[in-house]
């Protein structure tokens, strides 16, 4: 019997277990549909998740529902914005809740959010992206808390690693809580209960582009009394930590139908001056528990009033310290006579009426004293500032009394006596005449070290005078690295720059004995995408220069020496206009390479790739030094480096710059008009000229005359095109034209009209037998085609057409000689025939005429062959043609003879 009962009980439990295992598979799809339908029918947004899991074991007898990859996407007017997202949301509820219809409310007992992201936005028209509830009856399902939706009857909840962003464009407020963890325990199903909560996170707060908090750590432990009937939440036992400052507070928040009622007060639990150090970020206050202090520091305040669309709570916050001091144990000096009397208040509940009154703020280090009083009213409206600062401070003592960052190493003596009164509306409208700023600031022997500069900046003497409309820089004398500078000028809108994000507008005069550009270039580490082992990123060091975007000024500059990379410029003068990340150079002159340089142009760093456009006038530049120092010129005219002497040139060039402000040669375009003033060539140093010399035996390249040579180069897309030009050589010319690429691939042709007298003794003797006078004007064209690379050129010559031309010229000369000689003989012979045979018979006349025709035809070199009485060709004619062929052969042989053969008789053959 017992065994039977045990079997029945065991079978029952087995059925229950099987049901618990099987039920989730049947209900899983239903749960997902119910949740999506309930939420989407209640909001003007799109709620979704990737999957829903159901477990009946994890929190039995409750069911656990897990939603993965949740998103809540806005509809217009914030279409596509993600209002909420979470990696996972876990809900615990009674099993019976799973069997309810879609129109019945579901009671949730616990809620856990993992990695939630909340992104709240308010646009300039004050429309909020969280306003998504449907309350106009348009929903197909009743959304009242008693008939549909979810009912909170929770015992616990937790939010893990959350990020909350609030950005209000209408008020200029940005609030961020990152790495937030929050949890609460309590039975919210009761009408009156207590909720025990813990919160931690990093808080950032910005208003009107001013950062007040930047990831400051905040912790809060709060026991909150919950009265659901009155919608009232009371702070029963609470303690907060802002940075390391402890605060205790009490009071309540009550949610009414039309507003929220607030009544909260807070204060520091002690008056120890360490409370002041605790307000400062931990990175700057460091080990405050070891700091010895005297005096007190207290913070106390209250918020009281109603919150609605037009009002905030009235509040008052008092910060006070009376004759306090502190000293860090590892620093030699102390900060003493610390007085703080500050109030932050709002007495009306109107946000614009918030004000800050710094009635006193002063401290001393050694015998140096700093004082400040200020009143800032209408903080959220047309902010009005009335302040005065005066004091003397040895800046080196700051690091001896306070743990400043290691890279902030200040030195110098500061004297200031400045008073100012202004309102933001006048500044925003640039009505600086409504502001009143007066006083002086002097700084001597100031030294500043930072990773932003390669060398310390030393200001030997600085004097600034503040006037109502302008700030006058009377003197700014300093040095950094090799650079020294002495500047003066005016700033027209310092307040606009400080408070309204305006550019610095002004005019300055800058003088320098030595100005080294590299002193203002910083090595930056950039991470590459590949290149390391196993595809790991590699780092490379690059030097970058960026023209500051906030500068809108004109600088009249002069410097005895400017050093840029490997260039040294002397007597530099000109005007520099800086605006919109662009530097415009006007009337810039300098001495370089023993010549004069005139420069006009601009450089822009506004885009990701810097660009430039320049016009340069170069007068009497030493050619060798210019092309040795400037890579761009070596690329445009590689052969120029062998020239000795000077050049004049006008250059127009534009393109992109590398990060170190050197031209990116693959992007440049422009043109150059160059005039050479030289007659010296180092031909042995040029592979191209050596190759030409070996191919053309009659040419001695060291005797080329380049003086007063003018030529034009154009360059674009990596190709340099040379406009045809002529080089003088002895008593004939060489015509050159072609192009080359930036990687020095050559494509040129040199055409030379070579006088026959340079072809060798044998050729000239042969030609002289025909006519010595014709030798002076007889030329042969030789074309040299130049290809390959500059360091390994290829030269081919075309002599065929030249030989044909020379042969034709010789034949024509001989032909003309015979024609002229034949005409004379024919004239005499015909006259004699006419005289002696006037009475001859008609047959005799005809015979004589035929005889004369044959003589004239032979003299004129006609095609009629002369035959003797036997019918054979006249051997004299054949001999004459053979002589002409022999002349052509000897000419061709002379042109093709090697240079060595010609060199044996230099005086007779080659000049």
- Per-residue model confidence as pLDDT tens digits over 817-829: 667 666 666 556 5
326 pLDDT above the threshold of 80: yes
pLDDT at 269 over 60: yes
* C-alpha span between 276 and 423 (Å, rounded): 30
Higher-pLDDT residue of 710 and 282 is: 710
Structure tokens at 680: 């010296």
| Segment of 56-60, 358-362, 363-367, 480-484 carrying the highest mean pLDDT | 358-362
More confident residue, 544 or 557: 557
Asked, for residue 511, whether it belongs to a domain, the answer is: yes
Q: If pLDDT is split at 50, 70 and 90, which confidence band does 25 have?
A: very low
In a domain, 852, yes or no: yes
Tell me the C-alpha distance between 65 and 54, whole Å.
5
The total domain count for the chain is 3
pLDDT value of position 125: 84
339: in domain: no
User: Which residues have a Cβ under 8 Å from the Cβ of 25 and sit 6 or more positions away?
Assistant: none
Which of 122, 147, 171 is at the close of a domain? Answer: 171
Burial of 681 (0-12, 13-18, 19+ CB in 10 A): buried
The per-residue pLDDT for 544 is 62
Task: Please report whether residue 149 resides in a domain.
Answer: yes
> How wide is the angle at C-alpha 375 spanned by C-alphas 313 and 426, nearest 5°?
95
Percent over 90 (pLDDT), the chain? 18
Judge whether residue 859 has pLDDT over 70: no
Pair 706, 736: CB distance under 8 Å: no
d(CA 508, CA 41): 66
Q: Are 387 and 420 in contact (CB under 8 A)?
A: yes
Looking at residue 673, what is its pLDDT? Answer: 84
Tell me which of 171, 204, 223 is where a domain ends. 171
Task: Tell whether 837 is covered by a domain.
Answer: yes
Rounded-to-integer distance, Cα 692 and Cα 736, Å = 13
Look up residue 661 and give its two tokens.
């402000």
Higher pLDDT, 533 or 266: 266
pLDDT at residue 274 is higher than 90: no
- Taking the alpha carbons of 167, 168, 172, 173 in that order, is the dihedral positive or negative? negative
CA–CA gap between residue 694 and residue 898 (Å, rounded): 9
Pairing mode, strands 150-168 and 106-114: parallel
**Distance in angstroms (rounded) separating the CA atoms of residues 55 and 64:** 5
Per-residue CA distances from 643 to 633, 683, 899 (Å): 13, 9, 25
User: Cα-atom radius of gyration of the chain, to the nearest Å?
Assistant: 49
Which residue would you say has higher pLDDT here, 781 or 576? Answer: 576
CA–CA gap between residue 53 and residue 60 (Å, rounded): 15
Our CA angle for 294, 295, 300, nearest 5°, is 135
Using DSSP bridges, classify how beta strands 335-346 and 746-755 pair: parallel, antiparallel or unpaired.
unpaired
Q: Are 504 and 497 in contact (CB under 8 A)?
A: yes
> Are 507 and 553 in contact, with CB atoms under 8 Å apart?
yes
Instruction: Provide mean pLDDT across the span 293-309.
Output: 90
Per DSSP, what are the bridge partners of residue 605?
A: none
What is the average pLDDT across 39-44? 80
Give the distance from CA 377 to its chain's centroid: 41
**Which domain does 486 fall in, by range?**
406-525+541-545
77 within 8 A of 123, measured Cβ to Cβ: yes
For residue 67, the model assigns a pLDDT of: 84
How deeply is 445 buried, as exposed, middle or buried, from its count of CB atoms within 10 A (0-12, 13-18, 19+)?
middle
Q: Of 171, 192, 207, which marks where a domain is finished?
A: 171
Q: Are 469 and 492 in contact (CB under 8 A)?
A: yes
What is the model's pLDDT at position 257?
A: 84
**Mean per-residue pLDDT for 157-179?**
89
Provide the token pair at 99: 């069997």
Closest-CA residue to 557 (of 653, 477, 486) = 486
CB 376 within 8 A of CB 356: yes
Mean pLDDT confidence for 322-332: 89
> Residue 281: is its pLDDT beyond 50?
yes
Instruction: Answer yes or no: are the C-beta atoms of 174 and 166 closer than 8 Å.
Output: yes
pLDDT tens-place string over residues 412-456: 899 999 999 988 888 778 787 788 888 999 999 988 776 667 788
Q: Using H for helix, E for strand and C for coil, what is the string for 249-310?
A: EEEEEEECCCCEEEEEEEECCCCECHHHHHHCCHHHHCCHHHCEEECEEEEEEEEEEEECCC
Residue 776 confidence (pLDDT): 61
In a domain, 140, yes or no: yes
Give phi and psi for 504, each to the nearest 5.
-80, 115
SS3 assignment, position 26:
helix
* Dihedral sign for Cα atoms in the order 134, 138, 140, 145: positive
C-beta separation of 622 from 630 below 8 A: no
Question: Tokens representing 455?
Answer: 């060398």
Better-scored residue on pLDDT, 792 or 880:
792
End-to-end distance of the chain based on CA atoms, in angstroms?
139
User: What pLDDT was estimated at residue 777?
Assistant: 65
Tens of pLDDT along 170-217? Answer: 878 888 999 999 998 888 778 888 889 999 999 888 876 767 777 888
Residue 488: how many other CB atoms lie within 10 Å? 16
The angle subtended at Cα 72 by Cα 67 and Cα 77, nearest 5°, is: 170
Which segments of 624-731 are extended strands (E)? 643-656, 669-681, 709-716, 719-729
Mean pLDDT score, 505-514: 91
Cα separation, 831 vs 190, in Å, equals 155
Bridge-based pairing of strands 62-74 and 51-55 is antiparallel
Name 149's Cβ contacts closer than 8 Å, sequence gap at least 6. Answer: 38, 42, 105, 106, 143
Higher pLDDT, 120 or 103: 120
Q: Is residue 450 part of a domain?
A: yes
At residue 743's C-alpha, the angle toward residues 599 and 652, to 5°, is 20
| Contact between 773 and 756 (Cβ < 8 Å) | no
Q: Is residue 441 domain-resident?
A: yes
pLDDT at residue 901 greater than cutoff 50? no
The yes-or-no verdict on residue 738 having pLDDT over 70 is: yes
Confidence tier at 530 by pLDDT (50, 70, 90): very low
Paired tokens of 415: 């004297």
pTM here is: 0.57
Letter string b/e over residues 782-800, b meaning 16 or more CB atoms within 10 A of that residue's CB: bebebebbbeebebebeee
- Whether the pLDDT of residue 683 is over 80: the answer is no
- Tokens 């009156």 locate to 192
Residue 326, both tokens:
């502190």
What is the maximum span of the chain, computed from C-alpha positions, in angstroms?
182
User: Within 13 Å and on the Cβ side, how many CA atoms surround 143?
Assistant: 16
Environment class of 842 (CB within 10 Å of its CB; exposed 0-12, middle 13-18, buried 19+)? exposed
Cα–Cα dist 526/532, whole Å: 14
Torsions phi, psi for 870 (to 5 deg): -90, -5
Using pLDDT thresholds of 50, 70 and 90, give the confidence band for residue 830. low
- 224-250 in b/e form (b: 16+ CB < 10 A) is bbbeeeeebbbbeebebebbbbebebe
């Amino acid at each position: 019997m017992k065994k039977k009962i045990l079997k029945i009980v065991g079978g029952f439990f087995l059925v229950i277990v099987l049901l618990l295992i099987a039920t989730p598979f049947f209900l899983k799809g239903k749960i997902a549909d119910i949740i999506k339908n309930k939420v989407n029918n209640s909001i003007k947004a799109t709620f979704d998740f990737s999957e829903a899991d159901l477990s009946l074991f994890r929190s039995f007898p409750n069911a656990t529902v897990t939603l993965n990859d949740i998103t809540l996407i806005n509809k217009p007017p914030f279409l596509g914005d993600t209002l909420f997202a979470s990696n996972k949301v876990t809900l615990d509820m009674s099993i019976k809740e799973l069997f309810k219809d879609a129109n019945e409310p579901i009671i949730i007992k616990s809620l856990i959010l993992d990695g939630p992201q909340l992104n709240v936005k308010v646009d300039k028209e004050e429309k909020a992206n969280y306003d998504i509830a449907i309350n106009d009856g348009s929903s197909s399902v009743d959304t009242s808390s008693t008939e549909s939706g979810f009912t909170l009857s929770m015992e616990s909840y937790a939010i893990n690693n959350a990020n909350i962003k609030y950005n209000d464009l209408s008020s200029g407020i940005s609030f961020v809580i990152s790495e937030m963890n929050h949890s609460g325990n309590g039975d919210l199903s009761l009408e009156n209960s207590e909720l025990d909560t813990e919160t931690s996170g990093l808080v950032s707060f910005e208003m009107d582009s001013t950062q007040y908090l930047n990831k400051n750590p905040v912790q809060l432990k709060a026991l909150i009394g919950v009265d659901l009937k009155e919608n009232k939440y009371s702070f029963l036992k609470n303690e907060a930590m802002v940075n390391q400052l402890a605060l205790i507070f009490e009071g309540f928040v009550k949610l009414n139908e039309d507003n929220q009622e607030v009544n909260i007060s807070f204060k520091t639990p002690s008056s120890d001056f360490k409370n002041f150090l605790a307000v400062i970020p931990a990175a700057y206050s460091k080990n405050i528990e070891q700091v010895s202090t005297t005096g007190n520091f207290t913070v106390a305040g209250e918020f009281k009033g109603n919150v609605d669309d037009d009002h905030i709570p009235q509040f008052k916050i008092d910060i006070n310290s009376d004759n306090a001091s502190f000293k860090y144990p590892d620093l030699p000096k102390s900060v003493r006579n610390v007085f703080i009397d500050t109030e932050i208040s709002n007495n009306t509940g109107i946000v614009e009426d918030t004000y800050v009154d710094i009635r006193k703020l002063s401290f001393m280090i050694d015998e140096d004293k700093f004082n400040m009083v200020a009143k800032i009213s209408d903080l959220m409206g047309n902010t009005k500032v009335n302040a005065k600062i005066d004091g003397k401070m040895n800046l080196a003592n700051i690091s001896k009394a306070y743990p400043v960052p290691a890279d902030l190493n200040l030195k110098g003596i500061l004297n200031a006596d400045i008073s100012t009164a202004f309102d933001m509306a006048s500044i925003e409208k640039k009505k600086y005449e409504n502001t009143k700023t007066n006083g002086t600031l002097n700084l001597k022997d100031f030294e500043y070290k930072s990773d932003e500069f390669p060398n310390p900046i030393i200001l030997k003497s600085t004097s600034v005078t503040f006037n109502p409309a302008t700030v006058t820089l009377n003197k700014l004398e300093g040095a950094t690295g090799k650079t020294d500078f002495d500047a003066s000028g005016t700033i027209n809108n310092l307040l606009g720059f400080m408070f309204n994000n305006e550019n610095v507008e002004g005019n300055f005069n800058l003088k320098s004995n030595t100005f080294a550009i590299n002193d203002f270039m910083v090595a930056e580490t950039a991470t590459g995408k590949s290149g390391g082992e196993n595809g790991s990123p590699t780092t490379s060091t690059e030097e970058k220069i960026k023209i500051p975007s906030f500068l809108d000024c004109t600088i009249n500059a002069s410097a005895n020496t400017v050093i840029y990379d490997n260039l040294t410029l002397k007597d530099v003068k000109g005007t520099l206009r800086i605006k919109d990340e662009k530097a415009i150079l006007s009337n810039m002159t300098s001495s370089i390479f023993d010549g004069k340089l005139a420069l006009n142009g601009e450089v822009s760093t506004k885009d990701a790739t810097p660009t430039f456009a320049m016009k340069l006038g170069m007068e009497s530049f030493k050619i060798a030094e210019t092309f040795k120092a400037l890579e761009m010129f070596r690329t445009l005219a590689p052969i120029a480096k062998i020239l000795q002497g000077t050049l004049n040139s006008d250059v127009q060039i534009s393109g992109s710059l590398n990060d170190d402000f050197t031209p990116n040669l693959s992007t440049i375009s422009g043109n150059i008009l160059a005039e050479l003033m030289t007659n010296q060539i180092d031909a042995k140093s040029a592979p191209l000229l050596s190759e030409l010399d070996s191919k053309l035996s009659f040419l001695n390249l060291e005797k080329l005359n380049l003086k007063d040579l003018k030529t034009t180069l154009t360059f674009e897309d990596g190709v340099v095109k040379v406009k045809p030009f002529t080089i003088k050589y002895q008593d004939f010319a060489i015509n050159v034209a072609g192009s080359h690429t930036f990687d020095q691939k050559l494509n040129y042709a040199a055409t030379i009209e070579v006088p026959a007298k340079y072809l060798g003794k044998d050729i000239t003797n042969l030609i002289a037998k025909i006519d010595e006078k014709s030798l002076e004007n007889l030329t042969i064209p030789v074309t040299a085609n130049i290809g390959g690379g500059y360091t390994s050129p290829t030269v081919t010559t075309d002599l065929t057409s030249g030989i044909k031309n020379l042969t034709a010229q010789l034949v024509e000369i001989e032909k003309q000689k015979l024609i002229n000689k034949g005409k004379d003989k024919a004239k005499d012979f015909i006259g004699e025939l006419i005289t002696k045979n006037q009475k001859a018979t008609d047959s005799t006349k005809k015979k004589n005429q035929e005889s004369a025709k044959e003589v004239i035809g032979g003299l004129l070199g006609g095609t009629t062959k002369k035959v003797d009485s036997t019918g054979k060709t006249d051997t004299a004619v054949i001999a004459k043609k053979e002589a002409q062929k022999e002349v052509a052969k000897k000419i061709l042989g002379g042109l093709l003879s090697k240079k060595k053969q010609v060199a044996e008789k230099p005086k007779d053959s080659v000049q």
